[in-house]
Every structure is written in C-alpha cells, then in structure tokens.
Structure 1
Amino acid sequence: MSKVITKQDLNKVFWRGIFMQFSWNYERMQALGYCWTILPVLKKIYKDDSQGLKSAVTRNLEFFNTHPYMAMPIMGISLAMEEAASDGEEVDGNAISSVKVALMGPLAGIGDSFFWFTLFPICAGIGVSLSTGGNILGPLVFLLLFNIFNIGTRYFGLQYGYKFGGDFISKLEGGNIMQRITEGTTLVGLMVLGVMTATMVSVPLGFVVGTGEQAMSLQQIFDGIMPGLVPLLLTLGVYKAIKKGMSSTVVLFAVIGIAILGAVVGVL
C-alpha cells in the first residue's frame, strides 16, 4: 500500500483535535468536530476522487461520542483504513464506521476511569497539598501534571492508532486488555479517593462528654472507634445525596450550613 499520510499530516490532526469539542451538539455529539479534525487529511487521501471524499465525509459525520482525550487513537485507525480504502484494498466504508462504533464505547470507559477517577484526583491532591502550604505553584503543578498525560495520550494515541490501523482492535481484544485497564484504573481511582477522604476531609468535633479527668471530646471517642470515621461518613453522605439526584450546589450549601450551625452550638 502506498503511504499518502505523512507525520506532518498527523501533527495537523493532533492540533486540530484539541478543538474537537467546540462543535459538540446533542444530535451527533462529537461527529462534526471529529470530521473537521481529519478533513484536511481526507482531502489529501481522496484528492482525485470526489465521490470517495464525499462518502468519507458522510460516514465521518455519523454519530460519534467518546472521551475527548481518547478520540485520537480512533482517528488514527480511521485514517489508516481510509488510506487503505482509497488505495483499492478490501476496506469498505461500513468497516470503517464499525471500527469507530466498536472503539468509542470501551475507550470512553477507559478515559473516564483513568483521567477523571484516577489521574485527576491524584494531580489535584498534589496541587491542593502545595496550595494549602502556601505554595503559589500548587495550581501550576496540577495543570502541568494533568496535561502531560492529556497531551501525551492524544499525541501518541494518534500516532500508534495510525501505525496499527485496523489491527489495533485485535491487539486490544487479546487477553481482555480493555477490561483489565478499565478495572485497574477504577480500583486505583477508588484508592486515591479513599486516601484523599482521610487526609483532606476534616470534621473536628469539639463537644466534650463527661467532666474532670474523665472528660473526652467527641473527636476522641470517634477516633477511638475508627480514625477518620466522621470524614468517611460525611463523604458517603454527600455521595449518597448526589446519587439520589440532589444538586451538588445544594449539597455544598447544606454542608456549609451544618458547619455554621455546629460551630454556633459548640459541636464543631
């Protein structure tokens, strides 16, 4: 197969892909941004075949929705298959569309598990720790750490997606790699959230029970049962409230109200 797509073409797709979400809509989600991102390369592939270009644009305007950071591997695979189709190989439009549909769901799950539930809490925890110590670099460190993975995933995902082409799916399916990655990142994310709950959520109970040498604060009593028990209960309560459909803003003001009331009556 003759190669039409160059590294410069892929770099152009990478930079355009950063703005893919700008045309998000409720009818086809990311489809318009997806097609716009790869359009210059499609024009290069089908420069002498107007009907082929029309068909390629039409199928790349079909419904598409995945984690925005994980869209690049799918673009790389799609472009490799479009290039093969334009060269007369046995790759039809239905196969290209099927690959997009097959990958966007699993990669969305991996992206959500890794970026939102694992990487974001870790980077935010590091940034918050620096900020609470008075270090102005806290927000910058958070942005730097998070975007190293963000940009790296986009860039190398596009490059390797194009390199592997249609074989990418079979490589991922072998040994249930996708399932293992999703489960692993979810587990790490939950562990990080548990650590952040214990170290960053503070509920100081100042109410004293008893008198004299026998006097003990509620904080000491709960710490004797299980250190960090009250922050854990508060976190679980907030989680349950949001899961039941309560607005996060309402939950936030409720926690603030409880804190003020507890301070007034001397419990907190």
Structure 2
Amino acid sequence: MALARCPASCGEIIQGWILGSEKLVSCPVDWFSEVEVTAGSPLPDERPLTRAMVDRVLAHWQLPGELSREVRIDCRSDIPVAKGMASSTADIAATAVATSRHFGFSLDDATLAQLCVSLEPTDSTLFRALTLFDHNTAHTALPCPGLPEMDILLLESPVTLRTADYHRLPRRQALIASAQALECAWQKVQQACRQNQPSLLGEAALQSAVASQALLPKPGFHALLALVERHGLYGLNVAHSGSVVGLFLDRQRHDVEKIRHQLNRSSLRQHWPAHHLLRLVEGGVRES
C-alpha cells in the first residue's frame, strides 16, 4: 500500500507568453487530492486519468502492463473539477507517486512532470517551490526560492471549463501581445519570493489577470478590482483556463468577513456564490 497527496491550485499566479512560449506559475493552496494505491481489483467508479497514469508508471518502470489489473486506486478529493483548480494534476501526480512507491520505486520531479504532461497540460503544483513551468511539454521548470506568507480568499463560480477546451481557443496572438507585461510579472514573482513580499506577488498576479481578460474574461472583473482597492488587498489572480478567482490577503490584517459580506451584497454574488479561505502553501506531492 502507498499513499500520496498533492495540493490544488487557486488558478495561476501568472500565465502567458514567457521566455518564448506559454508558461505558468501555479498557486498551490491547502486543499488536497489524496490517492491510495493498494493490491486489489480496480474500482468501478475510478477516475479514468488515474488509471491511465498507473499504466504510464508501469511502462516507465518497464513492468508488465497486466499488473494494472491488480492495482486498486482510491482517490479521495473534493477539489472542484473543471474550474481551474488543478484537480486533475493533483489526482494524476499523487497517483504516479503512490503507484511508484507501491512497486518499490521513487519518482524525481522531472520524471513526474514528464509523466503528467504525457496525459494532459499540467499545473506546476507538482513542484515544491513556485515554479515557472511549460505545462504542455515540461521542457521548462524554473523554481523560485522562498514562499511569501499569504492567505487567499478563493471565489468559486458555478461555471465549468475543461482545460482541453481552453487549449483549443486561438490564443497565440493575444499571448504574444501581452508578452512584455508577463515578463515583468515573472520578474516580480521571483522578487516576491526572494524578499517574502506578498504585495509584490499580488501585483504580478494582477498583471497576468488583466492580460487574461483578452482571452477568457471574468465577469465583474472591474468590480473585483474595486474591491481589492477598497480593502487594500495584495491583489487578485485568476484561473487562466478556468473560472475561479483568488483575492490575495492576510487574514490577520484584512477583514475577511467584511469582504465576504460585501461580495454577498453586491452583483458579484451571482458570479461567485461560494468562498473558501485558504493559505498559499508549498507545492509538491506528499508521501505517507
């Protein structure tokens, strides 16, 4: 038996055309998918991508494919699906690590990333540090040392969008048009991590969120900006290929209940009816 868990992401801190291609820095939060791999028969309601990952792991370690029929996958996760919270990445990354451990092997981060992108575009939550990641090829993975101490009020929308559908949108021209802004945002992310400056991380995320409006606009965006300004929050980020939004703040400094009250009393309530107070955490798959 082997157990592993991987965090969700509140969208992306930044995503766009950086260093010659589309890349992202995910925003890992304390909401996890936990996967247990044991000997046994497959469950009838298992998630298809987790089974696909078991098969990829067996092939990677040059183990017989028939062993897949002797592996049971228990995936325990209540991360909202198809909203830009890296639910699939959390599932398959935890599955890869747990499956490898079940058979007596250990995966390094680079191999784990390659296995994940072989199934679908992948979030950088599988790395411990905030990481600039080529989510389509895994050819780039640039970590940022340090992690700003920060809370996030995640605004959940009822709207769903599959990552694969987002990637079918014609994006290249708009991505390249905002390349300069994203390069600036990437520099701010690195500085924010080095200096533990959540406000600078918020600035970077806001720059990327503004650029994302040309690709996947969020309803009530200007009202959200006004809310950030009114309460002196660090900034906001968005799911660039999903529907969630994150308000960057400090629960000790900012009045979270007042912010929630104003959200519920405004027109924003129809777009963001559910709110979750979370912490920015280290990424990476945790083994048990």
Same fold (TM over 0.5): no
Higher strand share: 2
Question: Greater relative contact order: 1 or 2 (C-alpha under 8 angstroms, separation 6 or more)?
Answer: 2
Higher helix share: 1
TM-score (structure 2 length as normaliser): 0.26
TM-score (structure 1 length as normaliser): 0.27
Q: Which has the greater radius of gyration?
A: 1
